[in-house]
Amino acid sequence: MLQASVDVDTSEALTERQKAVLDAALRLLVEEGDQLTMTAVARRASCSKETLYKWFGDRDGLLTAIVQWQASKVRVVPVDGKGLTLAS
């Protein structure tokens, strides 16, 4: 398996173009499910398969990048744990 060449742990690590590709790939994943291919993503995102492989390594790398990209958007509100009970 190839190693993804893009570190997507933070949204700052991605270019705007890479973010747009990941958004397109996510939409396609929702539509196609397991049938997602690099060819379909390249077509949807208007980029080459070579670019996808360069940025993400392989299909698994692309799927990992999609999950990490979406997770980076999640913001957690700080909560004071002192007032929390099992019931709350």
Q: Domain ranges in the chain?
A: 11-72
* Cα torsion 27, 28, 33, 39: sign: negative
* 6 within 8 A of 18, measured Cβ to Cβ: yes
Q: What are the tens digits of pLDDT across the range 1-58? A: 444 444 444 456 899 999 999 999 999 999 988 889 999 999 999 999 999 999 999 9
Do the beta carbons of residue 6 and residue 56 sit within 8 Å?
Answer: yes
CATH superfamily of 11-72: Homeodomain-like (1.10.10.60)
